[in-house]
Amino acid sequence: MSGFPGSPRILKGGLVLIDPDTSAVLRVIALQYNPDSITRSLQVQAISADGGDRSEVLRLKGPPVETIKLEAEIDATDQLEFPDRNRVATQTGVFAQLAALETMIYPTSAQLNANDAMSQAGTLEIIPMETPLALFVWSQTRILPVRVTELSITEEAFDTALNPIRAKVSLGLRVLSVNDVPPGHKAASLFMSYLQNKERLSGMAPAMPLSALGITGVP
């Protein structure tokens, strides 16, 4: 954020973890520095993509599979200049911020202990452990239900106790669409809001005449 008086406040991107049943917010993870770029990939879900019936060539099986990749930096250097005000950074560097990201893809220790107890009690079927629903938030117009598919961390500098004080995080996300969750799931309604907003923005794009392409009509 700029230090000039009157400069606009720059919003942070990040992740929000919610309870998929109640929508209660469980944790907010704001990126310390917004990444300079975000890579989005959309894989079309066409019926005829695998050589199917030619009469179905324009039909879609559902929304495209959208993936997002970004790199973010975490740095405790500035905080270490004021140890009295930043005891967490002084004691652990950026471990706390990294742990907040990493635990998104871990089952909790309580879940693991419960499954271990059921296994020792002879339970025949152990239900896979459910994580909170993650939302990737990048402005008010992009609040996407996602699943973390990749998390890579490069620790670049350390304090005298070998706590990391600077790190780069590479994050891969897959947007969850209505095809990925059961009807009525919170992720489905969030995806529909995202799609409807995309349709609204599409309608705002300026219409271009055929002459802009150097033609007067479609043959």
Please write the tens of the pLDDT for every residue from 87-121.
777 888 899 999 999 999 999 999 899 988 988 88
Q: How far apart are the first and last CA of the chain?
A: 53
Distances (CA, A) of 52 to 46, 56, 123: 10, 8, 44
Of 81, 70, 77, 85, whose CA–CA distance to 35 is shortest?
70
Beta strand 164-175 pairing with 38-43: unpaired
Q: What is the reported pTM?
A: 0.85
| pLDDT score for 102 | 95
Residue 166, beta-bridge partner list? 75, 157
Of 47, 54, 153, whose CA–CA distance to 104 is shortest?
153
Residue in the block written with tokens 């059921």: 118
118: Cβ contacts below 8 Å, ≥ 6 apart: 126
Residue 2: is its pLDDT beyond 50? no
Radius of gyration from C-alpha coordinates of the chain? 23
